[in-house]
């Protein structure tokens, strides 16, 4: 099944595909809207007698793996794939990026995105971020600006919102706020060489891109409980 899925990314199979078209695997847990937890029943039995509770996270892992393999195959091995996946498991860092899922436009969710990505990095999944602005609900101007400023310093940087939210393009919040968001995005792009270096070191040595302070200052006991400050690389 994974080989078939990978083959569907071939240029002659995927209408409109191009070398710069990459993939977002969304709701690949898999999602089942009629289920009690919006997924398959935990005791649903798969081939071989395995219950879904044993396979749930592996399913998303293999979807991301097959998608990455399909992108490599379509270019004859010349291409470096990019696959964003909502579902993941140990080892998913080999195949692409992840994000923290359906958050909300709340200050608490902005705050917790830092701790979540720090934890993910320590577990080996460095390419992590959160939906800038929050997926559900509608951020006010201050929250949106602050989220762009924070998100620009997380490894995966993307604004994303639910279909039912109001429009939130940066230019809709007045010139002053637009300028602040533009400055954050420009800072992100200005630091791309540094980001690439941090990612290369993560790839080679497993060091998180986004690091808790205690990693760089292990002799400072005061850093052990801090999860609202961090380092990018060193």
Strand order in the sheet with 23-25: 23-25, 83-85, 97-99, 128-129
Q: Kindly report which listed range (33-37, 79-83, 128-132, 200-204) carries the lowest average pLDDT score.
A: 33-37
pLDDT over 90 at 123, yes or no: yes
Q: How confident is residue 79, by pLDDT bands cut at 50, 70 and 90? A: confident
Q: Could you report the per-residue pLDDT of 171-190, keeping only the tens digit for each?
A: 999 999 999 999 999 999 99
Average pLDDT of the chain, as a whole number: 96
Within 10 angstroms of residue 58's Cβ, the number of other Cβ atoms is: 14
The percentage of the chain sitting over the pLDDT mark of 90, rounded to a whole number, equals: 94
Cα–Cα distance, 209 to 198 (Å, whole number)? 6
Average pLDDT over residues 7-36: 93
Is the per-residue pLDDT at 197 higher than 90?
yes
pLDDT score recorded for residue 37: 86
**What are the pLDDT digits (tens) for 32-49?**
988 788 899 999 999 999
Structural domain boundaries in the chain:
1-99, 131-234
- What's 131-234's CATH class? mainly beta
- Burial string for 123-162 (b: 16+ CB within 10 Å, else e) reads eebbbbbbbbbbbebbbebebbbbbbbbbbbbbbbebebe
**pLDDT over 90 (residue 150):** yes
Mean pLDDT value across residues 115-135? 97
What was the pLDDT predicted at 146? 98
Average pLDDT (7-14) is 96
CA–CA dist 30, 20 (Å, integer): 27
Which listed residue (26, 54, 140, 220) is catalytic?
26
Catalytic, 219? Answer no
Q: Identify whether 102 is a catalytic site residue.
A: yes
pTM (predicted TM-score) = 0.94
Kindly state the average pLDDT of the residues 75-86: 93
pLDDT at 117: 98
Tell me what the mean pLDDT of segment 6-27 comes to.
95
Q: In Å, how far are 73, 106, 136, 207 from 216, measured between CA atoms?
A: 39, 30, 35, 11
With CA atoms as reference, report the closest residue to 210 among 161, 159, 144, 152: 152
pLDDT at 215: 96
Residue 98 confidence (pLDDT) above 90? yes
Within 10 A of 91 (CB to CB), how many other CB atoms are there?
Answer: 13
DSSP structure class, residue 81: P
Of the candidates 43, 102, 220, 228, the residue annotated as catalytic is 102
């Amino acid at each position: 099944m994974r080989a078939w899925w990978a083959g569907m990314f071939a240029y002659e199979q995927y209408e409109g595909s191009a070398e710069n078209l990459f993939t977002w695997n969304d709701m690949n847990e898999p999602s089942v809207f009629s289920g009690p937890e919006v997924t398959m029943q935990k005791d649903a039995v798969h081939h071989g007698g395995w219950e879904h509770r044993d396979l749930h996270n592996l399913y998303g892992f293999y979807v991301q793996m097959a998608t990455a393999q399909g992108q490599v195959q379509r270019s004859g091995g010349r291409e470096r794939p990019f696959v964003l996946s909502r579902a993941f498991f140990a080892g998913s860092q080999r195949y692409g990026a992840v994000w923290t899922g359906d958050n909300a436009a709340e200050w608490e969710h902005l705050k917790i995105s830092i701790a979540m990505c720090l934890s993910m990095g320590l577990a080996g999944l460095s390419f992590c971020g959160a939906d800038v602005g929050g997926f559900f609900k509608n951020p006010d101007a201050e929250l949106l600006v602050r989220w762009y400023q924070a998100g620009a310093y997380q490894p995966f940087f993307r604004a994303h919102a639910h279909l039912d939210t109001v429009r939130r393009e940066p230019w809709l919040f007045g010139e002053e706020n637009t300028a602040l968001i533009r400055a954050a995005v420009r800072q992100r792009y200005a630091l791309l060489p540094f980001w690439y270096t941090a990612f290369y070191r993560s790839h080679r040595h497993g060091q998180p891109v986004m690091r808790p302070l205690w990693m760089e200052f292990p002799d400072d006991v005061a850093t052990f409980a801090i999860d609202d400050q961090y380092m990018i690389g060193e």
